[in-house]
Structure 1
Amino acid sequence: LEESSKLSSNASPLIFFLTGIPGLRAAQVWISIPFCLLYVLALSGNSLILLVVFREQSLHEPMYYFLSMLSATDLSLSLCTLSTTLGVLWFDAQEINLNACISQMFFLHGFTFMESGVLLAMAFDRFIAICDPLRYTTILTNARITQIGVIMLIRIVAVMLPVVLFVKRLTFCSSLVLSHSYCYHVDLIQLSCTDNRINSILGLFALFSTTGFDCPCILLSYILIIRSVLSIASSEERRKAFNTCVSHISAVAIFYIPLSLSLVHRYGRSAPPFVHTIMANVFLLIPPVLNPIIYSVKTKQIRKAIIRILFQKQSQI
């Protein structure tokens, strides 16, 4: 009887059930409206940044290449959860099979780690631009930027592949209800009947070898940047140097602060379930929504290029 109550992850079909907003099911359609608006902002904003960088020859520089990587990552991160989140909130479409769940988990965590890597690359870009400006173009060549992008992709596959393979080996109990509107690694492995300690270790290793490595490196780069800027005699030049970092510092803050809060709320169970769910969704949506706004407002070249493209389209109409 005990064996029959267990379901192997290799069994077919193995269906999981996604969860909307616990305790607020009657209001889910209304709650979906702000979520839908956030998704629209994230998709349109990041698509516009990519279009601007692609079309404007003056933006074909290392800083904007890294910005386009950030926008592509944010766009992909939003698309990862859009179908299941809005499907649950609008149509109560809760069912998802194991393979689809694992695929979503792989891309969700993968693009989160990718964003962390891109932010580190952007910190390196700012470090070179401020601390060694004469060698900026020789260090950050197109070939080197491509290499950085490839290394980030290889890192994602290297840390996420073992996570996926060990999830496939798990045996699941009869309770297959997930606590989010998308597939999350911690959420998924907690439903297993078998020992999931290896899965937990692999998940923590993936986290600490990506964001856990990138965050201290970003902090170190800014310590060196601040030390270099403070050695500049002119206060006007110091102000200009710091201004070039404002957008990136904001992007780092809106990524790592929600990430830290999501880790805290994951292990703190005193809050109501709907608070955990909303915070988890907010963590995923805040960076993709705010990054295009921050770079459009704070970066003059991006702002001018957007205005130029929009006015060109209006004149064509």
Structure 2
Amino acid sequence: MWNIPLLLRLIPRCLSAAHATLGTHPFSRLDVLVVPSNFSSLGMDSPHIIFLSQSILPGGSSLCGTRLCHEIAHAWFGLAIGARDWTEEWISEGFATHLEDVFWSFAQQLPCNEAREQEELKALLRWRRLRDEVLNSEKELQVLRPNRENTGEVSESGASVIKHGLNAEKIFMQVHYLKGYFLLRSLASRVCEDTYFAFLRKFVQRFHGELILSQVLHLCLFPNLLKNRPCDLEGIDGVHPSLVSQDGNLGVLLDPLLHLEHQVLAVARSTFHQLDQVRRL
């Protein structure tokens, strides 16, 4: 049985939490489409629409809320800001995994001590999951930047190759989620919370609509946080253009002619008949 009333209660709370953390949502409209449980994942975010598997709804507010927060976080990291080289998928998934805890704690309006306890418990569970993956997978599949110094390079034709893209084992791995999460969690723990999120808000404003390499984070985000510098844009504005791409960026995602129906047909053809239900949310 679909718990739609629960979802309706959670959506405004999770969106409010995201707004309080990162500012205005990058897209002017957001629909939520509940898809059958045989959908390929528990959730997926696209411009103006979030796909949620019906299998998370019976799990109560915690499972549904955290998944919703994860997909909302992708509006900033994954959609409004993308990885210029998609072997660096940790930029999208690491931030989304990290921010889902932040959003969900805020949405629950937990006292600080309870929020910390919840985050510590989740960190422990994720550490165990990461340990298991590291022990039971090839080392080459555990690298966040598999192209290393060649990250971001393309051929003369402009084509690039996703390393391990055809490796069946890679599909089910969460190393890029978990290592990215622990990297960001470590950085956040080194500075006060206000400093961390103030800088993050300026970061998403500066790079909105652009594709970036992880070097951008190394050059402006990481040094400022590690040295606990004031939250200004000096480091961000000084990023070399070669690390940021506006060619072939996410502008197509902001195309006003890209209607909801087109996205549903492209991503979830089998669920098109549920569109009317979504529009009532």
Considering the TM-score relative to the shorter chain, is it more than 0.5? no
TM-score range, shorter chain: 0.3 to 0.5
Q: TM-score, normalised by structure 1?
A: 0.32
Q: TM-score, normalised by structure 2?
A: 0.35
| Greater helix share, structure number | 1
> Which one scores higher on RCO, CA 8 angstroms, separation ≥ 6?
1
| Greater strand share, structure number | 2
